[in-house]
Structure 1
Amino acid sequence: MTVDINLPSSGMGIEEATVIRWLKNIGDQVQEGEIVAEVETAKATVEIEAPASGKLATIVTPVGTTVDVNAVLGTIAS
């Protein structure tokens, strides 16, 4: 089973963000709540937490890519 890592809504009127760093690589173990990536919005840098524990299976959105809120950034396989 896989779980999507989505770009969350920050609630500050932000509609998009740019991935500036992945803290984990494909195949790395992650724990639910662990910071796996950082994105930059027009107002702040936001840390993205793993929504589940498992292995980082894919990175859908590479560094430097700008995506809309709720876009899939990557997936975690349990």
Structure 2
Amino acid sequence: MIIDFQLPELGEQVSSATVTSWNKAVGERVAKDELLLEVMTEKVNVEVMSPWDGMLVEIVTDVDADVSPGVLVARFEIAD
């Protein structure tokens, strides 16, 4: 099953962030709570962890892209 992954809420009053790095590549297995990507807000760098065990099948948001919480950033394939 393919699941969309949206950027989670990053804190109170954080309306946007910039993707600084992806720690996994398309086709790689990802464990739940494993570091997936890093983003930078106006105040801090934030590590975003994977919410699922699965495989990263698509990166929708490239490095240096500005994103808001709730925006689609990747897709995962997970077991049903």
Same fold (TM over 0.5): yes
Percent pairwise identity: 35
Task: Tell me by how many angstroms 1:73 deviates.
Answer: 1.0
Gaps of 5+ in 1: none
Counterpart in the other structure of 2:60 = 60
TM-score between both structures, scaled by the size of structure 2: 0.90
Q: Distance in 1 between matches of 2:55 and 2:16?
A: 26
TM-score between both structures, scaled by the size of structure 1: 0.93
Q: Structure 1 residue 14 and structure 2 residue 52: aligned?
A: no
* Count of matched residue pairs: 78
Runs of 4 or more above 6 Å deviation: none
Range 28-37 or range 4-13, more displaced = 4-13
Q: Distance in 2 between matches of 1:48 and 1:28?
A: 16
Q: Distance in 1 between matches of 2:34 and 2:70?
A: 19
Q: Distance in 1 between matches of 2:62 and 2:10?
A: 20
Range 19-28 or range 2-11, more displaced = 2-11
